[in-house]
Amino acid sequence: MRKGDEEDYCRVEPDGTRPHNYLIYSTNDDKNMKTLFGQLHWETCSYNNYRYTIIIGQKLYQVRSCDLKDRRLAIVDAIHRNKYSTTDYPELLYQVIDSFSKSNKKYHVNIHDKEWPLGYLAITVLLDLHECKRSID
């Protein structure tokens, strides 16, 4: 996935050292740099149900297939304090807001992380592809 005409793009590669694991890289051909954004691993946790483990930096997130049946997913980061309030709140980094629309067949995704937007989009694509393949099998 590439963002506009920029040199930066996202690359997803199977992990040759660990089965059922994909590595997600941010790549810049101009600078010849490849930076690991995160990884997605899946394993069977019960009949017709997978557990997906998403690792981004040093943070670990887990979601099951049954939780994705309506294709809703959010990744929330650490608790932050609003400067106008004394209440703590979680920072939303990524959210698939709407169920997959059968009328226009498009996802509605909000990505609030400006540094790694293509990495979060790659997670959405990987989860959807794996779930589609699983339902066909």
Q: Report pLDDT digits (tens) over 90-128.
A: 666 667 655 555 455 666 777 777 788 888 888 888 887
Looking at the domain assignment, is residue 71 inside a domain? yes
Vertex 20 angle, CA 35 and 73, to 5°: 75
Looking at the domain assignment, is residue 3 inside a domain? no
Looking at the domain assignment, is residue 76 inside a domain? yes
The predicted pLDDT at position 9 comes to: 83
Structure tokens belonging to residue 104: 């226009």
Task: Return the percent helix, strand and coil in the chain, to nearest 5.
Answer: 20, 50, 35
Q: Which residues contact 10 (CB under 8 A, 6 or more apart)?
A: 1, 2, 24, 25, 26, 27, 37, 118, 119, 121, 122
15 pLDDT tier (thresholds 50, 70, 90):
very high
Segments forming the whole domain that contains residue 47 = 8-136
Looking at the domain assignment, is residue 36 inside a domain? yes
Count of structural domains, the chain: 1
